[in-house]
Amino acid sequence: MTESRTVVEMRGITIRFPGVLALDGVDFCLRAGEVHALMGENGAGKSTLIKALTGVYGIDRGTIAVGGEERVFGTAADAQGAGISTVYQEINLCPNLSVGENVMLGHEPRTLRGIDWRATRREATRHLASLGLHLDPQSLLASHSIAVQQLVAISRAMVLDARVLILDEPTSSLDREEVDRLFTVVRGLRQQGVAILFVSHFLDQVYEISDRITVLRNGKLVGEYLADRLPRSDLVSKMIGRELDELEAISASAERSIDRAATPVLSAAGVGKKGVLHPADLDVYRGEVVGIAGLLGSGRTELVRLLYGADRPDSGTIAVHGEPARLSTPRHAIDRGIAFSSENRRAEGLVPELTVAENIVLGIQARRGWLRKLRRAEQEAVVSEHIRALDVRPPDPNRVAGDLSGGNQQKVLLARWLATAPELLILDEPTRGIDVGAKADIQRKVAELAARGLSVVFISSELEEVLRLAQRVVVMRDRRQIGVLDSSSVDVDGVIEYMATEGEGSVA
Amino acid sequence: MSNLLRHRLFWPALSLVALIALNTAVRPRFIQITVRDGELYGALIDILRQCAPLMLVSLGMTLVIATRGIDLSVGAVMAVSGAVALTIIDGSADPGSVGTVLVAIVCGVGVALVLGVWNGFLVAVLKIQPIIATLVLMLAGRGVALLITDGFITTVNSKPLEFVAGGHLLGLPFALFIWVAATVAIALAERRTALGMLTEAVGINPEASRLAGVRSRGIILGAYVASGTLAGVAGIIYSSNIRAADANAAGELIELYAILAVVLGGTSLMGGKFSIAGTVIGVLIIQTLQSTILFLGVSSAESPVFFAVVVVIVVLIQSPRVHQAARRLTRGRPSRPAPELRTEAEVAP
């Protein structure tokens, strides 16, 4: 394709919410046969722009033209009718229907006697196969992995004859292999002339797949660039509007020396659970950050859930400060000064309808019991201190927590745990799906707290992050602990190499 | 004004006021309150007296619904509590003594509390779905009540018992004091302590609450115990009112009216955020409506339809979708011009 045809043209889009100008005169174009990445920090206006394009939000000013024709989308169905389909991070299909039913929902071939199920299955199989998916259309959607479900969602979009496909954070819960598969499909669609809008926080993936990048900041357009003419550091500084030396400055923290002659804060020996995790050992010392490196499904989350009592181990012993402890529920762990922030922010962390203040004090209040309510003055002090320390935006304790952006929700959860003054903080993917600025804030906070004596177990898919913060890195693969590395003696490639090959063959 | 409109209790309260206004317009006598022998009488006073059983049951239901549950057994628990209390009074040597009646009430409410513990145990400990767990007692409870009364309607003649539903204190019905006391006690227990917030947290996101260390088992169990106990008191009031324990008629369908009251009061059946004041208004709406039926002389054949029609209207008045549609109609066409004006005004300086 030499001259790309413009499919969607948004001009001067302005959307105002009570108290905020969410989008301020933003222009945005999507061209046929191109992958266009929309980049920006949380709260920059990415989701608002997508919601304007998909008819979820009405626009206060500006125009949207699809295929050269000006359109007003009152509902999401209007946008879909115009050929704009969206695949969200949280898949919005019906998990209890079959794959075929999901793909064809509402477009099943019919005969006089109703739906022709045989033809429906055949059509579904054809659509799936065109994306290289060979699934049984009669299998239950929920029985497939998130990655496959995402691909099913894309096939569904293709059934709707989408000219524009919006992929909103499609890769945040996929592992590398699954991402490759998704990208193969995306490249195929690009060949067919579909205009693709891609949103992701993973810079590598953005550069891998995108032809063009548009950057938003604080509801304003920063600019549109060709991906191969925009160096990565320029992109990041355009997104956050400040130079990116901040993350680098944190790196010194990993080089602190840790006193490992003392009794570990937490000591786990042979902790495991049948079918979930092979027995693993872990010692965490005072002031130490222990990273856990491993792919999704390697057992990293399973391990920390067993340590916290979120799931019950069926083997092994745990000692806190040298004393044997039975951590069979989260409460036991909390009472011993252990805090755990789940990787699944929305399902297992936030209480979205409660306010920021209530979410922050929930941990303390749970510990005190319902009878001893935190006094108003104490509550205000705790809440305002943590909102300030973590730079939660907007700094309004009475705002409903579910309305905050992902990064700020994560800060609220971190605040909840820090407010309980734990001795050991377990963070499972605390920086997933959040913007660079919030990521830096959280990393800096972790480094600072560890320097003051807090012990931390830090899980992240981003190995740079793990190596930057942790003194030791536990490496996991296939639900098994395969080794512990000293972070000063390895780099990212070293960890990847170790993760991929160490112990290969010895496990039969 | 717009703050008032957005207050979550505005539409429920407006519905109640509209209902009272409608009655008054048809018959001005409706809002008259007369004083006889130092006691207040009138249609409104009757509403405040008669709503007591539904009020108590609905308060309990609010707490249960806030935890994402539901308690279908409240009507049956009312029957059991009334049966226990009246059987004790009936069997005693002196049915008219205050002591006997107090013992009987404590026993009746005590049994109701135990039934609440049973429901709570099934839901919070055995993790049975609330609708199924409480259905067991809903179906079995009336059988238990019939066993207690030997299959008869136990009638008693006891002045202290009659006082519970029919007596006056300081010129006002005694039953009013019971439900006001219960409301205040629950509101204080929920909002002065952290119970309300923890209950909402458990109702909104049980897994997040568990991982945050909230002891949700105790909170959920407590809600069912409160619901059972309050239903027990409601059963006593009901029996006092008819001076009999009627295992079949006591609290019949009250679970559904209670759910209706909770929803009218703005608490979502999905659990989480709840409003005690909203439930009070919801109950008053239902009770006023039932008085309206009597007051307007709607025939008994027509009354269910009348009730249903008014409930549908009240629900529509409260629906955010209807509000949107109404706004669109009154402003002519759409929201588009309005925000644009606002934008210009605010951007100008």
Residue B174 in tokens: 């005694």
Predicted local distance difference test score (pLDDT) of residue A34: 93
Contact B219, A370 (CB under 8 A): yes
The DSSP 8-state label assigned to residue A64 in this structure reads E
User: Which structure tokens are listed for B35?
Assistant: 């004083």
What is the reported pLDDT for B345? 33
pTM confidence score: 0.75
**How many Å apart are CA B124 and CA A272, to the nearest integer?**
28
State whether B219 and A370 contact (CB < 8 Å): yes
Q: Does A5 touch chain B (CB under 8 A)?
A: no
Per the CB < 8 A criterion, the answer to whether B61 and B259 are in contact is yes
B197 to chain A: which residues are within 8 Å by CB?
354, 358, 362, 365
| Spatial CB neighbours of B324, under 8 Å, sequence gap ≥ 6 | none
The beta-carbon neighbor of B213 closest among A14, A334, A349 is: A334
Q: How would you write the pLDDT of chain A (508 residues) with one tens digit per residue?
A: 445 688 999 999 998 876 567 888 999 999 999 999 998 876 678 888 998 898 888 888 999 998 888 888 888 888 888 888 888 766 678 888 888 888 888 888 888 888 888 888 888 898 888 877 888 888 888 888 777 888 888 888 888 778 899 988 887 667 777 888 889 889 988 998 899 999 887 778 888 999 999 999 878 899 999 998 988 777 877 776 654 555 555 655 566 777 788 889 999 999 998 878 889 999 999 989 999 988 766 788 889 999 998 988 889 999 999 889 888 889 889 988 999 998 888 888 999 889 999 999 999 998 888 888 888 898 999 999 999 888 888 888 988 888 887 788 888 999 999 999 999 999 998 887 677 778 888 888 888 889 888 999 999 877 778 888 888 999 988 788 888 888 888 877 788 778 777 765 444 3
Inter-chain residue contact A16 with B205, CB threshold 8 Å: no
Q: How far is CA A340 from CA A331, A425, A457, A471, in A?
A: 11, 6, 9, 20
B335 touches chain A (CB under 8 A): yes
**Does A61 sit within 8 Å of B336, measured CB to CB?**
no
Count of A-B CB contacts under 8 Å? 90
Please identify which residue in the block is written with the tokens 């490992």: A260
CA-based nearest distance B228→chain A, Å: 21
pLDDT of residue B316: 84
Q: Which residues of B touch A358 (CB under 8 A)?
A: 197, 201
Of B192, B201, B272, the CB nearest to A362: B201
Percent of chain B residues past pLDDT 90, beyond the cut: 48
Q: Where are the alpha helices (DSSP H) in A4-107?
A: 46-53, 76-81, 99-104
Count other Cβ atoms within 10 Å, centred on residue A242. Answer: 12
Separation CA B109–CA B84 (nearest Å): 9
Does A397 sit behind a cis peptide bond, omega within 30 degrees of 0 on the bond before it? no
Q: In sequence order, what are the residues at sequence separation of 6 or more whose Cβ sits closer than 8 angstroms to the Cβ of residue A154?
A: A87, A131, A165, A167, A185, A189
Cα–Cα dist B164/B177, whole Å: 10
Which residues in chain B have their CB less than 8 angstroms from residue A362's CB?
A: 197-198, 201, 209, 212, 214
Is A362 within 8 Å of B197 when comparing Cβ atoms?
yes
Give residue-wise pLDDT tens across range B296-341.
Answer: 788 888 888 888 888 888 788 777 788 788 877 776 544 433 333 3
Scan residues 196-225 of B and list those with Cβ closer than 8 Å to A.
197-198, 200-201, 204-205, 207-215, 219
**Rounded distance, CA A21 to CA A62, Å?**
14
Q: Which H or E run contains B93?
A: none
- H or E stretch including A459? strand A455-459
CB contact under 8 A, A367 and B336: no
Q: CA of B337: which chain A residue's CA is closest?
A: A60
Using a CB-CB cut-off of 8 Å, the residues of chain A touching B328 are none
Contact B154, B95 (CB under 8 A): no
- DSSP labels, B141-189: HHHHHHHHTTTS-EE---HHHHHHHH-EETTEEHHHHHHHHHHHHHHHH
Contact A480, A295 (CB under 8 A): no
Q: Contact A42/A17 with Cβ under 8 angstroms? A: no
DSSP assignment of B265-333, as one string?
Answer: TT--TT-S---HHHHHHHHHHHHHHHHHHHHTT--TTTHHHHHHHHHHHHHHHH-HHHHHHHHHHHTSS
Round to whole Å and give the CA distance between A60 and A47: 16
Distances (CA, A) of B104 to A215, B74, B236: 74, 19, 9
Q: Is A372 on the interface with B (CB under 8 A)?
A: yes
Cβ contacts of A354 within 8 Å, gap of 6 or more: A362, A400, A401, B197, B200, B201, B204
Nearest CA in chain A to B189: A371
Burial code (b: 16+ CB inside 10 Å, e: under 16) for A320-332 equals: beeeebebebbbb
Query: Which residues is A292 bridged to in the sheet?
Result: A459, A474
Asked if residue B70 has pLDDT above 90, the reply is yes
Spatial CA neighbour of B180 closest among B63, B283, B307: B283
Alpha-carbon distance of A355 to A400, in angstroms, equals 4
Gap from B201 CA to chain A (nearest CA, Å): 6
Report the chain A residue with the minimal C-alpha distance to residue B210.
A330
> Position of tokens 């913007």?
A435
